[in-house]
Amino acid sequence: MVQAGKEDKNAGEFRSLLETSPGQAARYLEGVHAADRAQWLRDVGAEDAWRVFGELRTEDQAELIEYADDDLRAVLIVRMSAGDLRGVLDELPSDEAADLLGEADTRVAEDVLAAIDSETAQELRELAAHEPDTAGGIMATEFVTVGPDERVGDAVKAIRKQGDDAEEELAVFVVDDEGKPLGFLPDRVLLSQPIHTPVLEAMVEPITVGVAQDQEEAARLVEKYGLLSLGVVDEGGSLIGVISADDAAEVLAEEAEEDLLRMAGASVESLHGRATVLRRVRNRLPLMGITVLSGLLSAKVLRWFLEAPGEGAGTSDILRYLPLIIGLAGNVGVQSSTILVRAIAMGELEGPRQRAMLRSETLVGVVIGFICGLLLAGVVSLLEPGQLGLAVGIATAAAILCAALMGTSVPVVCMRMGIDPAIVAGPFLICLSDVSGSVLFVAVAKALLQA
């Protein structure tokens, strides 16, 4: 049992041992849950993580790989030789093994496939050939089957024989001679029915999906019907794989996370620092472009109602571009805060990762602010007289930078104060970005236009 506060102490002891010897640190990890191993290795340097990983037993390496996030997997897999990779593959279920091969160096993966038995190699190649966002892309090929003429006792024997390799040890499909599913034996049936009960009397109707079905739709079936295993069938209707409840829950969590980030104008690549600053900027600029266009249109509409007589830019001209400034600043602030709140919720904003994420998100805001400011300075200068274009450009860059700083700092401050950032950060950040954007724009515009 891990008590609150004890985990941090254990992580500190692990880091202390790592400074002395990777071997001692690896031995310390033998009594630690694989999820904690993955988290601790994620928070140390890439070379240190690899040195400790190399000291672990093969079965412990496989467990750690299953719990590792994309960052840590990339650090470890790229350094694995064909021998290392083959040992880990032997300990993983088929779906995880196929994913691992897909992430490894192509030559290393081919060496592994050439070294293992041809049947397993062909199975892994077929799994890897499926689109990753389909049922075939997330299914495993280990499952237990019995014939229609057998009894519950035969199903239990099949579990004992095949259970070590089965995706769900208490999930048994009844199939005909062609491998087409006729029924499903859930665990409650196997535990409650007499062993001499025919499986045709004990089974329930199987629920299956086609191999090309979208993974999210397949996962929702598992959630809707509370399934242990969802059968995956080929075009001929034969059972070729299963999707477990755990795999389905992971898919739904990933899809929900992706939808949330898209709503905020960010992307999954923004997480964990996996993407470079420039790539994250490129992912977010389309939303900024939409905001720029709508802001310019709003300024045009407001001109009809706020236009004042006289030459040069006046107070009404400044007010027309205010919605554009605070809109851009608000978008950047919400993007940064969404990523930070998500990282806090997942326990990923700790130690050096916190500083790295704060630094990178702020830098993204700087680059976006510079690009948007430069663009608006040019466009508004063509549309408006005097130095209003320059004022809009400078204020845009300053407001976006300010919003990025607040978007990263407000969630962290909330976390340290013991306040749920998901509740406070959003409304508080919007208020701050609106006020700061307005003040910055008006101050810059007044200074330039009255100079």
Position with higher pLDDT, 270 vs 18 = 18
Residue 259 belongs to a domain? no
The Cα-based distances of 131 to 136, 137, 139, 156, 244 in angstroms read: 7, 5, 11, 34, 18
Residues above pLDDT 70, as percent of the chain: 86
- 384 and 423 part of one domain: yes
- 153 and 122 part of one domain: no
- 17 and 118 part of one domain: yes
Residue 256 belongs to a domain? no
Residue 307 belongs to a domain? yes
Q: Which residues contact 338 (CB under 8 A, 6 or more apart)?
A: 260, 261, 264, 266
- 128 and 148 part of one domain: no
- 214 and 235 part of one domain: yes
The rounded distance, in Å, linking the Cα atoms of 137 and 213 is 10
Task: Tell me: pLDDT of 203 over 50.
Answer: yes
Of 108, 132, 156, the position where a domain reaches its end is 132
Per the structure, the complete domain to which residue 270 belongs is given by: 264-449
The whole-chain average pLDDT of the chain stands at 81
Task: Tell me: pLDDT of 163 over 90.
Answer: no
The rounded distance, in Å, linking the Cα atoms of 223 and 147 is 27
Provide mean pLDDT across the span 273-283. 70
CB 72 within 8 A of CB 43: no
Of 187, 215, 245, the position where a domain reaches its end is 245
Provide mean pLDDT across the span 198-223. 91
Task: Tell me: pLDDT of 218 over 90.
Answer: yes
- Angle CA 48–52–55, to nearest 5: 145
Position with higher pLDDT, 318 vs 74 = 74
- Of these ranges, 191-195, 207-211, 262-266, the one predicted with the greatest mean pLDDT is 207-211
- 281 and 387 part of one domain: yes
What domain count does the chain have? Answer: 3
- 404 and 425 part of one domain: yes
- 110 and 159 part of one domain: no
In Å, how far from its chain's centre is CA 399?
29
Position with higher pLDDT, 413 vs 451 = 413
Q: Which residues contact 102 (CB under 8 A, 6 or more apart)?
A: 109, 128
Task: Tell me: pLDDT of 165 over 70.
Answer: no
Low-confidence winner among 11-25, 83-97, 234-248, 335-349 (lowest mean pLDDT): 335-349
Residue 149 belongs to a domain? yes
Task: Tell me: pLDDT of 51 over 60.
Answer: yes
Position with higher pLDDT, 235 vs 6 = 235
Residue 137 belongs to a domain? no
Residue 255 belongs to a domain? no
Residue 157 belongs to a domain? yes
Provide mean pLDDT across the span 383-387. 77
For position 5, what pLDDT does the model report? Answer: 42
For position 336, what pLDDT does the model report? Answer: 80
List the CATH number of the domain containing 186: 3.10.580.10
Task: Tell me: pLDDT of 309 over 50.
Answer: no
Task: Tell me: pLDDT of 283 over 90.
Answer: no
Q: What is the pLDDT of residues 287-299, one digit of tens each?
A: 778 888 888 888 7
Of 68, 98, 132, the position where a domain reaches its end is 132
Closest-CA residue to 50 (of 33, 34, 65, 28): 65
Residues above pLDDT 90, as percent of the chain: 11
Position with higher pLDDT, 443 vs 7 = 443
For position 307, what pLDDT does the model report? Answer: 60
Residue 253 belongs to a domain? no
List the CATH number of the domain containing 108: 1.25.60.10
CB 102 within 8 A of CB 78: no
- 124 and 175 part of one domain: no
- 156 and 82 part of one domain: no
- 295 and 351 part of one domain: yes
Provide mean pLDDT across the span 113-125. 85
Q: Which residues contact 144 (CB under 8 A, 6 or more apart)?
A: 155, 158, 159, 162, 163, 166, 169, 171, 172, 173
List the CATH number of the domain containing 402: 1.10.357.20
Task: Tell me: pLDDT of 265 over 70.
Answer: no
Task: Tell me: pLDDT of 169 over 50.
Answer: no
Task: Tell me: pLDDT of 168 over 50.
Answer: no
- 433 and 297 part of one domain: yes
